[in-house]
A and B are shown apart, each in its own frame.
Chain A
Amino acid sequence: MKLKAPESVFSSASFCPGCGHGLASRLIGEVAEELGIQHSLVTVVDVACCSFNIDYWKFDTIMAAHGRDIPTAVGVKHVRPGSSVLAYMGDGAAYSIGMAETIHAALRNDNICVIVINNSVFGMTGGQMAPTTLPGEKTATSPKGKDPTRYGTLSGVELLKHMDIAYLARGELVGSAGMIKAKKLIKSAFQHQLKGDGFSLVELLSPCPTNLNLPPVKARDFVHNEMTKYFPTGVFIDKGGVE
Chain B
Amino acid sequence: MSKIKLNISRCKGCGYCVAECPRKALSFSGHISDKGYDTVQVDESLCIACGSCYRVCPDSVFEILE
Q: Give the CA-CA distance A116 to B56 in the complex, in Å.
A: 19
What are the residues of chain B within 8 A of A196 when measuring CB–CB? none
- Would you call A10 and B60 a contact (CB within 8 A)? yes
| A79 close to chain B: CB less than 8 A | no
| B31 close to chain A: CB less than 8 A | no
| A146 close to chain B: CB less than 8 A | no
- Would you call B54 and A12 a contact (CB within 8 A)? no
A-B contact count (CB 8 A): 67
- Would you call A13 and B20 a contact (CB within 8 A)? no
Q: Give the CA-CA distance A92 to B54 in the complex, in Å.
A: 29
- Would you call A2 and B59 a contact (CB within 8 A)? no
- Would you call A216 and B15 a contact (CB within 8 A)? yes
- Would you call B52 and A18 a contact (CB within 8 A)? no
- Would you call B15 and A2 a contact (CB within 8 A)? no
* CB contact under 8 A between A179 and B56, given known A17-B12, A217-B19: yes
**Which positions 1-55 of chain B face chain A at CB distance < 8 Å?**
10, 12-16, 19-20, 37, 49, 51-52, 54-55
| Of A1, A3, A13, A175, the contact of B59 (CB 8 Å cutoff) | A13
**Which positions 70-125 of chain A face chain B at CB distance < 8 Å?**
none
Binding site for A on B (CB under 8 A): 10, 12-16, 19-20, 37, 49, 51-52, 54-56, 58-60, 62-66
- Beyond A3-B62, A19-B58, A176-B51, 8 additional contacts (C-beta under 8 Å) are A1-B51, A3-B55, A3-B63, A5-B60, A21-B58, A175-B56, A179-B55, A209-B14
